[in-house]
Amino acid sequence: MHFSLITPTPGHERDAAHEWTGGAYLEHQWLWRFLPAPPGTARSFIFRRRDVEGLPRFYVVSDGEPVAPSVHWQVQSRPYAPSLAAGDRLAFDLRANPVVTTRNAAGKSARHDVVMQEKTRLLHEQKLARWADWPAAKRPALPDLVRRTCGQWLQARCERLGIALDNGSLNIEGYEQHRGKNGELRFSTVDFSGSLQVVDAVALRQALYTGIGHAKAFGCGLLLIRPIG
């Protein structure tokens, strides 16, 4: 595995911006240019984008080593084999797509944003049709709803990820709904950060390589970690 940072080459920022296909729906396809593969090849990387001074920086974990398709981009890459042991304390950063899967009477499954799903449950409990019908002074504040539902979503995955969260350090922010061309909700993202303790090093290493949750093609799921001194 490789861990890479892809950034515009200094002095080529304008040309890099022209080459870069912005937007969550096209970034994954654009990044394939750095990891060429035969048609039909399954996705072999996960990524996270962070903007610095209006320019994108891509963190990528991949099977192969990325190669810049032009001089306007540079790739800093290294072999990725994290040294982990039970009891290690790590700071982490994660952008994820928290969803819950439900099945209808016909057995067909569907994924739902956990925040919207909780809103639906609360409205049913209050016998209301719309969130706007609930007086603002009485309904839960959206930031509180996001922290509770998304925090529960991450906590429920800790065992399979091989980690224990330090709940006192957990930050949950940046809830954003991403919509398609016709305005329909396609997926949502939330940013998590804080500290954790390694419980199962093998399980955590697998999560670092393959990501967490859904919407990985949209830049979700890459868990970034660093040791806490």
**Diameter over CA atoms, the chain:** 59
pLDDT at 205: 97
The CATH number corresponding to 2-79 among 2.40.128, 3.30.70, 3.10.350, 3.30.950 equals: 3.30.70
CATH number for domain 89-227, candidates 3.40.50.20, 3.30.70.1210, 3.40.50.620, 3.90.700.10: 3.30.70.1210
CB count within 10 Å of CB 52 equals 9
DSSP assignment string, 141-208: PHHHHHHHHHHHHHHTTHHHHTEEE-GGG-EEEEEEEEE-TTS-EEEEEEEEEEEEEES-HHHHHHHH
pLDDT at residue 24, rounded to an integer: 67
- d(Cα 80, Cα 134) in Å, to the nearest integer? 50
pLDDT digit string (tens) for 71-128? 999 999 999 999 999 999 999 999 999 998 877 767 677 888 999 999 999 999 999 9
Q: What's the pLDDT at 95?
A: 96
Residue 89: per-residue pLDDT:
97
174 within 8 A of 189, measured Cβ to Cβ: yes
**Is the Cβ–Cβ distance between 10 and 84 less than 8 Å?**
no
Tokens representing 206?
A: 């697998």
Fold agreement between 2-79 and 89-227 = yes
User: In the β-sheet with 55-62, what is the strand arrangement from edge to edge?
Assistant: 45-52, 55-62, 2-8, 73-79
Give the Cβ contact number of residue 227 at 10 Å.
11
b/e per residue, 100-130, with b = 16+ CB within 10 A? beeeeeeeeeeebbbbbbbbeeebeeeeeee
Q: pTM for the complete prediction? A: 0.89
Low-confidence ranges of the chain (pLDDT < 70): 21-25, 43, 105, 107, 180-185
Say how far apart CA 60 and CA 47 lie, in whole Å: 4
Residue 10 amino acid letter? P
* Domain spans, the chain: 2-79, 89-227
The DSSP output letter for 107 is: -
The predicted structure's pLDDT at residue 143? 93
